[in-house]
């Protein structure tokens, strides 16, 4: 599900929210049991070529956070020539809490 176009004889990855989500969900699949329920919030800014990702996880302890961090950094490195990645890892239950949303 990668969008590839040819520019100046070279293949270039053209990101979209859907392709970014698809790839990140695939990268997190092997740690689903450890991190618990996951929600990815993704915003793509095509003019500045920046993907902003919020990874919300149920099991917000050290090891699961590190597993998500490792996969996000690998994703960032794999696409360093395509776009910049800005990301946060936050607890899913805090995002669902109305008091957190108001802060």
Question: 16-102 maps to which CATH number?
Answer: 3.30.300
Q: What is the pLDDT of residue 14?
A: 73
Q: What is the pLDDT of residue 1?
A: 47
Q: What is the pLDDT of residue 103?
A: 45
Tell me the pTM: 0.81
Q: What is the pLDDT along the chain (103 residues), one digit of tens a residue?
A: 455 555 566 666 678 999 999 999 999 999 999 999 999 999 999 889 999 999 999 999 999 999 999 999 999 999 998 899 999 999 998 776 655 544 4
The 3-class secondary structure across the chain, one letter per residue, is: CCCEEEECCEEEECCCHHHHHHHHHHHHHHHHHHHCCEEEEEEEECCCCEEEEEEEECCCCHHHHHHHHHHHHHHHHHCCCCCEEEEEEEEHHHHHCHHHHHC
């Amino acid at each position: 599900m990668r969008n590839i176009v040819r520019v100046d004889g070279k293949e270039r990855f053209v990101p979209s929210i859907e392709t970014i989500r698809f790839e990140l969900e695939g990268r997190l699949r092997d740690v689903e049991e450890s991190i618990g329920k996951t929600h990815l919030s993704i915003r793509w800014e095509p003019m500045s070529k920046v993907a902003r990702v919020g990874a919300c996880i149920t099991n917000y302890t050290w090891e699961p956070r590190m597993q998500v961090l490792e996969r996000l950094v690998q994703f960032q490195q794999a696409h360093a020539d395509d776009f910049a990645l800005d990301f946060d890892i936050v607890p899913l239950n805090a995002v669902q809490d109305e008091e957190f949303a108001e802060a």
